[in-house]
Structure formats: structure tokens, C-alpha cells
Structure 1
Amino acid sequence: MNKNKVKSLVKKYKKGIIAIGLIIAIGGGIILIKLNGNSTSELNSIGDYVRTVSLEKSSIYDSIAVNGKIESAEVTSVTSALAEKIKTVNVKVGDLVKKGDIIAVLDDTSIKKEIENKKQEISSERQRLKSSYDKAVNSLNTAKSNKAISLAEQDKLVGIAKQNLDSANNELETYKESFQSEESKYNTMLGAIREKKEAYDKSVSTRDNLYNIWINAGGKTDSKEYEEYKKSQEDLTLKEAELEQAKGLYDYDRITESYNSAFEKYNGKLTSKQNAQNEYDSAVSTRAKTINSDDSEIATLNENIKEIDTQIQKLDKNDELKALEEKLTKTVLKAESDGKITELKATVGSMTEGVIATIQSMDKLIITVNIPEYDITKVTVGMKAKISSDSLADKIEGELVRISPTASQAENNSGFSADIAVSNSKGLFIGAKAKAEIIISSKENVFVVPLDAVSGEGEESKISIKNETGEFKEVKVTTGMKNDYYIEVSGDQLKEGVEVKANINLEEMDINNMEPVINGGF
């Protein structure tokens, strides 16, 4: 309130005021004026009276004032994609609901019928698969039993073949010594007659060669070649006689016969051993093939059993049945959040279509505001705010949580839309108007005075404080942060409780017999 308003107020009540108190609020200070006199008293000059404030440590902040509307920060919709009739509606507009509360129930008759049909279909398929599973298990057990029998038979055949092989080996090894003895005798005998045998063989070769020469020369008996041939024949006869004599001396015929008999017998045993070895190898190979065949059959049956079991397991997690059961749960429409029903489109008997109900949280509120373009560079998300509304006794705290990245194109509402979250929603109502001061900056625990209490600027800034004698004297101060109403001051002579002249000029007011009582503060 400026001094012109004060003068107007005083003039209005200049007459007819008897023994009442006039309270005038000016800026951050209060003048309590006691009016004395009777009904004929008139208000006289108050030019000698001033408004003061008492210095106290306080806070000061710079802010942007915005207006807005209270809205819910959490709005959820109860919807249904099912084309079913509504069977029951459990709420009405204005009801408070909790998350999970049933809003409406749809007719589930057709869905339950589909579920029953699907379960019967699954049951039939389960019985078929169970029968196939049991058959496969029986076949597997039979295959395992057959494998055991076959394995025993093959092991027996391999065992017999191994015995035969071992017997042939033993016979061969046992006879080997006798054969080697005969062989040694035979070789010794051959060694003894070797010289005679070599001479005989050489004589045979010579005779055969000379015979060929004689024949090639014409074969005449009176030729030189014939004479040479006759001499070689005579020499051969001599060498043959010498060889026969040596054979007789070393018992050649008997030793040779004995050796040949031993050699034939040894070869027979060697052949028997080789045949036994072949039979053993064949038995081992047959056993391996038989086992592999049995194992392959068992593995195939195991895979069949696993596949059937997998199909049975899938029946327990049948996607179609799962979808139908999930569809059934969606016939019960529930609230997805706490809040108040602000819109309801459901009526019993009607078909579901889109949004059934709208729920707005009453605990999570925001103030939607518009920040002017000239102030947008001053604000950032996270700044604190002070919120007031006609329904609130005191201001409450808030926080700037959203600023639109683009300006509004509306002619009557240019600027940037923003949301201020409310810390305590008690006493606020959705749709009501509210005001907010977005705190740009602030200082705590500093001295602040009204702007008009400071004279001068910069280093010449001064305020008037009351001394012990009741007089005002000017002192220099250092000014700091200020807003539209107050300014921060500091100085050596400032202390709490000091009265500071607010510098309101009241000399035009003319009030008699006034007794002022001054209180200062913010």
C-alpha cells in the first residue's frame, strides 16, 4: 500500500471514529494507530510518524509467478479389447478406488465354453500321446532285453572263436619245436651234401649248355661239339654218382621224407591257426555290428519317447488354452492405480468399447502452468516452487518437473507449458486454479528490508536505523540479492532487533491525538 492509499484511508475515517484502533498494513511493516477523543474529534497531522521494521535474520528469494490448474500426475484408464457385454459395474463417478479394485465384470460365458472345449481337446490328445508313450516304453524295454540276449549270444560266439584261436595257437606253438628240429636236421644234411649238390647242378648246367651248342651246330655225331657234349655227359654221370654216394652217407631220403612230413603238418597247423583267427575276427565284428544295431534301435526309441514327452509337456502349456485363460482374466476389469473415478462409460448390458473408466490419482498432483517466453531461460527442471490456492490456508512446497521443449503457438497463451509436482496434495482439488512461485534463487539467514528502506545505490547505499535516543541516523550498508519487495542488506552496525525506517512519507496525513505503536517484520 502506497502513501496515497494511506491518505485516502485516513480521510475516509477522519470523522466519527471514537476510541477504535486503525490498523494499516504497509509493505512488510505494520502501523497500529490508536485514535483518542470523542465523536467530535478530528484526525490531525501524522507527519512526525514513520513506519519501521525490526531487523531479523530471514530468507529472501527471487521467483517467477505463474498461474495454473491442478491436475493429476497419474491418470490411468480401464480399458478392454474384448467385445463382450458388461455384466456388473462396481463403481460410480467420484468413488475412490485402490489398485486392484474391480471396476466392472464382463460376460464370460462364451470364453468359458471355449476353455472347456479346448480342455477336452487337450485331454483327448493327452490320452493318445500317453498310449503312444507307453507303447514306445514297452518297445524300448523289449529292445533292451533283446540287446542283453543278443549280447550274451555274441559274447558266447566270440568266446568259442577265441578258444579255438587259442587252441590253434597252442597246437602250432607246441608242434613248432618238433618242426624246427626236423628242419634243422634237414638243413644240416643239405649243408653236408651242398658241395656235391652244387657240383652236380653245375655239371647239369654244363651238359645242357653243350647239348644246345651241339644241336645248334647240326647235331652230327662226328663233330667236335658232339665230343664235348659226350665228355660233359660222362662228367655228369660221375657227379651224380658222387652225390648219390653223399646222400646215402647222410641218410638223405629218410631225413628229407621226415622233414617234408613235418613241414606239411606244420603248414596244416599254421592254416588252422589262421582260419581260427579269421573266425575270431569275424565273431568280434559281428558282435560289434549287432550291438551297434541294438544301440541304434534303443537310441531311436529313446528319441521317440522324449519327443512324445515333449508333446505331453506342451499340452500343459498349451498356448491356445493359455490365451483363453488370460482372456478370461481380462473379463474382470480392475483399477491399475489408486485414485478417484473421474469418468465412467460402463453400463450393465452394454458392449465394451475402448475406455471403460478413467482414474486420476488424488495423491500425486501437478500444477500445469505456462512460463512466459521472457522467463524461460531463468528456469530449469528441479527448481523448487511455493504453491497457493484458495482452498489452502498456507503455501505448500512443489518442484518443477517438466518444461516443454517448444513454445505454445496459442495467441492468448504463448509461452512454454510446464508441470510443477505438489509435495503434499492435501487440501487441493483436481481442476481448481492455483498459483505458484518458481524459486529462481534464494538466500537463507540474511537481513532483508523493504526496497523503499534503502536510499542511494552501490557503495552509497544507506538505511536509517533508530538509536538509543529514539532518533534515526543513516548508516552505510552493502546490498545483495533483491526481489520485487525486499532487498538483502549487511553492515557492521546491523544486528537483530534494530528498528529500520521504511521511508514511507506520511506528512500529508492530518490526524490529531494519534498514539502510534510500530511493529516491523516480514
Structure 2
Amino acid sequence: MSKVKTALGRVGGSLGRHKKALIAAVLILAVAVAGLWYFRMRRPALPAEAQGGSYVRTVTLQKGNLDDSISASGTVESSDVSNVTTDLKYTVKTVNVQVGDMVEAGDVICILDTESLEKSIEKAKEALADSMAQAEKTYQKAQESLAEAQTKTSEAKTDMDEAQSAKDDAWSAYDSACSKVSSFQTEADDAAARQENALSALNDAMAVTAQKQTAYNDAYGAWKTESDRQLAADYEPAEGDAEKLAGLQTAMNNAQAQLDAANEAQTKAQESYDQTSLQAQEKQKALSDAQSTVGLTGLQTAYQQAQAAYEQAQTAYDQAVKNQETAQETCDDALESYNKSGESDELADLQEQLEQCTLTAETSGKVTAVNATVGSMIEGAAATIQNTESLKVAITIPEYDIESVKVGMTARITSDVTDKEVNGTLSQISPTATGGGSSSSSFAAEVTVDDADSGLLIGTNAKVEIILSTTEDVFTVPLDAIGENEAGESVIYVQTGEENGEPVFEEMAVTVGEENDYYAQISGAELEEGLVVRASANADEATEELDMGTMMPGEMSGMAPAEEGGMQGSVVIAAPADGGGGGRGGMAGGPAMGG
């Protein structure tokens, strides 16, 4: 009973991790039962004595690899897919490929009808030619204006240089004349300075005289007033009047003396001024005579006129330079416009469209879809090209297995379209899950096909087994084949012979090593290849009743009846030695199974 619980526990654990695998197994079993029922209904009836018997399921022990793996299913896709597309709204003129064709990058897929586009290009070229001609005329005119401005600038420069030379000559003559009369000029200037000083001294003396005159008038007024008072008829002498009048007389006399001195000083200042004025006039006349002798006034006038002429010539030159700069800018703009007149965004766009009207393959591969029809515009992709030599399998990995896998793991790929097992590599795992909620979520992943000639076809279903770990060159048996004896040892049951037509099994102690969901590694001193091991440690579970009525004629070959004349005993059926062992989603590598 404990062995049954152990087996059920193993199955339960497997079911917990592999609900999808269980569902697939149930579906396969249902199909098998239905097929068996169909054949049973269709088969010829067998004799009654041949409609009974039983057999024991066994496995033949052999060394192999024990893989721990995760299984998934998906769709074969190309790793290199390109679509031939266009945004142009022109109808298709020719289609050069069909589905199944092999193309190289750059091969023409289809060509659009460009008749109306080519007419538009011709019109755009004509408009461009007119624009270029007009721009050329404008540029030529600007060049002529620039040449004329350059000539005027050159002429103005010549005029200015000549005016500069004339001014320099006039200055030289004037400066020479000035040098000749410089001594007369110095004497005239000195005489004028002395005259100025004398005038200043005269003005000062006159100011002093006026001041002294005022002081005398005040003193005389005071004396006269006191004198008239004392001379009046009603005067009554008083003590001190005589002294007062005498004091006023003295003050008046002193003021008169100061006034006389000031008048004398003023007279001398006047005489000095008159003398210096005469000298200044004489020196000025001498200067004038000298200047007249050398023609200084005429030379000065000539220089001033030359200076004015130079300034006028310089102004004319500056204006000519500005006019030339303006003409140069106009010419540069005209040249730029002329150069740009050969460019047309419209024409460039139309020519680019013309090039794009020939749709080519961007990558090499097989044409898997064509959506281009002559006479119709292309909607979506004109063609799809897939590299059939570079394949991958798109799968999903359940959330409970995602922690066990990583990019770079080895994978085995099988498909109904090929009999061979194809090598692959887990190349991509999505970082985010899909699904969830009431159901388990999963992660999208990709397995790259490593074999060059895999035989896989794009769009077909494939099964993928991702190898988590591998234990090599070991004996493996089904988990159910391992039991436990009373001593607590792990044992298997090896066929040692037959008795009364039925196989005889004896237990053999083993050591259990690595295991996966279906198989376990065993080791022991007595183990050797070729031993026949009961598929289940429980003899009842390993024995299957064989209803011959459900078998088709010819299906009885390979069965050894327990008793001659009927199927009353056990029958041992040897399974093909194609390997056992397996992973979480299936079996790969291991012992051959009988029954």
C-alpha cells in the first residue's frame, strides 16, 4: 500500500508541475481508446479460446543519458523576415515573383506603373529649366552691375589719389612760405603781446584813477559840508570845530595827492600803450609785406581748396566702395539663387518616387506571400520574404518553470514534418509574462534552430524540450520500477527465468541517483546491460490483461503464450530499444520498455 502511495505521490507531483502535459496525455489516450474501439468493431472475430491472456510490462536495462528537461510546443518561424512595402499609390505594372521563389537581396519583386509619374517628372524638369534660365539672366545682370561698380570704385580711387597728391603739393608750398615769414610772424606776435600787456596796464591805471577820484570827491564833500556849516550866519562855534575842519582839510589834501599820483601813472600807462600799439602796427605791416612778397595768402587759399577737393574725392570713393559692396552682395545672392535653381525638391521627390516604384527584396530568402496584383494598388506588404535556412520556434514557458531556464540552454526539437530530432538553443526569454488572473501566466520565448538542414517547415507545429541538466552514461529505469524492501533498501525486480510459462522476477538492491519526472538513475554492483526489469515494482500494476478480442489479426506476433493452445499465462513483450528517460514534459534517453 505504501508503494502505491509513493507512486501516486510521484504522479501527483508531476501533475502539479505539468498540467498541460497531463491534458495532452489524456487526449492521446482518448484518441487511442476510440481507435481501438473502431478497430474492434471492424476486425474479424477470433476464436473464443484466443480471446484471453495477460502480459508483464518490462524494460531492458541499458546505459544512456538522463535528462532533466522542460517541454513546450510552439510554431516554427523564420528568424529573418522582411516585408516588401510601399506608400506609393500607383497600380502594379508587373510582378516578378510568386510564392515559393527564392530571391536574393536586391532582386526585383514588382514594378509599379509610372506613366503618370514620368509625365510629372518631365513637367518638373521643364519648370526647372525655366527657373535656371531666369536665374542665369539675373546673375549675368548682377555681374554686369558689379563690374560697373568696380570700375567706378577704381575711378574714384584714382580721383582721390590725385586729390591727395594735389593737397600734399599745396600744403608743401604753403608750409614753405610760412617758414619764410616765420621770423616776421614771431616779431608781429611779440609786438601784439606787448600791446596787449600795455593795454591791460592802462586799464588797471584807469581803474585806480577812477577809484582815487571817488575818494577825493568824498573827502572834498565832507570838508565842504563842514566848512559851509562853520561859515553860516547862524553858526555857533563849538569846542573842537576848528580841529574837525582842519582834519577834513588834511584828508582832502591827501586824497588830492593820491589822485594826482594816479593821474600821472595813468598818463605813463597811456604813453606806453600808444608806443606798443605803434610798434605792433609796424611789425604787422612788416609781416604783411613779407607775406605779400611770398604770396602766402594765395598759397593758403590754394591749400584750403585742395583740402576740400580731397575730402570730396574721399567721400565719392567711400560711396563707390559701398556701392561695390552692395553690388557684390547682389551678385553673390544671384549666384546662390542660380546654383539653387538647379535644385528642385518637387523633382527630387518625384525622381525618388520613380526609383521607389521598383520594389526590391531587402533580404535573401523564400517568398512566402505575394499581395501584388497587376492593375491594382498595393495594400500592406507587396511580398513577404523569409529566410528558410534561419529558423526559430516560438514557444511559451509556464511561470512555474521560468526560474529553471536561462538563455543559452540546449534544446531538442521534434515535429511531425520530420523524423529526426533537431538541435536548438534557447535564445530569448521575454522579461514580462502574459495571461495571469484566473489562469497561470506564461513567458514568451524563442528557440533558435541550430541544424542547417533541419527539415522543419515555417508555420508548422513543433515540440521543444529544453534540457536543464544531463547525467551521462548511466543506467535508468522508470520511477515506478523502483521499490523498497523490508530493510528499507531501494530495489528493482529483475527477470531471472520462467516458471510454468510465466516470468520469474527477483529483487536486486540498487542505489538511486538523479531523477526526473519519469525516470531515475540507478547503480549497483550486479547491474549490467541487457537485464530485463519489471516496469513496476508492484507486480499487479506491471501485469496487464490482454483481451485478444480487441486485437487486429497479425497483432499477436511476438507474444509467447503461457500455455500451448491459449493465452492462459503471462506474456513478456519487449519494447524497442529507442531510449528512455525524460523530462518534465516528455521522455528522452533511457531504457527500452516492454509491453
TM-score per shorter chain, which class? 0.5 to 0.7
Query: Quick check: 1:99 aligned with 2:99?
Result: no
Aligned to 2:404: 378
Distance change >3 Å, CA 246–CA 177, structure 1 → 2: closer
Determine which of 276, 284, 304 is the counterpart of 1:260.
284
Q: Who is 1:7 aligned against?
A: none
Structure 2 residue 423 is matched with structure 1 residue 396: yes
In the alignment, structure 1 residue 367 sits paired with structure 2 residue 393? yes
Matched, 1:171 2:171: no
| Mapping for residues 35-184 of structure 1, pairs under 5 Å | 51-54=60-63, 60-181=66-187
2:42 — aligned with what? none
Which residue of 331, 336, 339 corresponds with 1:305? 331
| Residue identity opposite 2:282 in structure 1 | S
Distance in 2, Cα, partners of 1:284 & 1:374: 102
Question: What is the CA distance between 1:123 and its match in structure 2?
Answer: 0.3
Quickly say closer, same or farther: Cα 1:447–1:317, change in 2 above 3 A.
Answer: farther
Shift of 1:116: 0.6
The residue that corresponds to 1:26 in the other structure is none
Contact preservation (8 Å) 1:72, 1:360:
yes
CA contact (8 A) 1:72 1:430 kept: yes
Paired with 1:425 and 1:108, the residues of 2 have a C-alpha distance of 42
Taking structure 1 as reference, are residues 364 and 461 closer, same or farther at Cα in structure 2, changes over 3 Å only?
Answer: farther
1:289 and 1:182 map into 2 onto residues whose CA distance is 39
Deviation of 1:365 after TM superposition, in Å, equals: 1.8
Letter in 2 for 1:157: A
CA–CA separation in structure 2 for the residues paired with 1:332 and 1:271: 93
Tell me the CA shift for residue 152 of structure 1. Answer: 1.5
Contact 1:71 1:368 in 2 (8 A): yes
Q: Distance in 2 between matches of 1:231 and 1:105?
A: 136
Question: Structure 2 vs 1, CA of residues 229 and 256 (structure 1 numbering), >3 Å: closer, same or farther?
Answer: farther
Give distance in 2, aligned partners of 1:418 and 1:143: 78
- Contact 2:92/2:374 (<8 A) preserved: yes
Q: CA deviation at 1:323?
A: 0.6
8 Å CA contact retained: 2:205, 2:269: yes
> In the alignment, which residue of structure 2 is the partner of 1:317?
343
Q: Does the 8 Å CA contact 1:214/1:226 hold for their aligned counterparts?
A: yes
Q: What SS does the aligned partner of 2:421 have?
A: coil
Cα distance in 2, alignment partners of residues 267 and 454 from structure 1: 148
Q: 1:358 aligns with which of 384, 400, 404?
A: 384
Match of 2:464 in 1: 436
Distance in 2, Cα, partners of 1:351 & 1:409: 43
1:342 to 358, 368, 371: 368
RMSD (Å) for aligned C-alpha atoms: 5.5
Aligned-pair CA distance for 1:318: 1.2
1:437-456 deviations in Å (ceiling 9; x for gaps): 122x2257675644658777
Matched residues in 2 for 1:371 and 1:388: separation?
17
Q: CA deviation at 1:157?
A: 1.7
Rounded Cα–Cα distance in structure 1 between residues aligned with 2:137 and 2:59: 108
Query: Are the equivalent residues in 2 in contact too, given 1:129–1:308 (CA < 8 A)?
Result: yes
- Does the alignment pair 1:423 with 2:456? no
Q: Which amino acid aligns with 2:185?
A: F
Structure 2 portions without partners, runs of 5+: 1-55, 223-227, 229-248, 493-506, 544-559, 564-571, 580-588, 591-595
**Distance in 2 separating the partners of 1:332 and 1:197:** 115
Deviation at 1:126, TM superposition (A): 0.2
Choose 132-141 or 60-69, whichever is displaced more: 60-69
Q: Aligned partners of 2:441, 2:210: CA distance in 1, in Å? A: 137
Contact kept, 8 Å, 2:425 with 2:450, in 1: the verdict is yes
Check whether the contact 2:102–2:367 (CA below 8 A) recurs between aligned residues: yes
Percent pairwise identity? 26
1:162/1:490 Cα in 2 relative to 1: closer, same or farther (>3 Å)? farther
Deviations 1:215-260 (A, max 9, x none): 999xxxxx99999999999989987998899999xx9787444323
Question: Are 1:294 and 2:300 matched, yes or no?
Answer: no
CA contact (8 A) 1:59 1:442 kept: no
Amino acid at match of 2:356: K
1:407 equivalent to 2:407? Answer no
Work out the CA distance in 2 between the residues paired with 1:362 and 1:410: 37
Flag structure 1 segments of 5+ consecutive residues without an equivalent: 1-46, 218-222, 465-471
Counterpart contact for 1:179–1:266, Cα < 8 Å = no
- 2:24 alignment counterpart: none
- TM-score when normalising by structure 2: 0.59
1:25 corresponds to = none
**Counterparts of 2:300 and 2:66, CA distance in 1:** 116
Q: CA deviation at 1:331?
A: 1.8
CA distance in 2, matches of 1:461, 1:176: 145
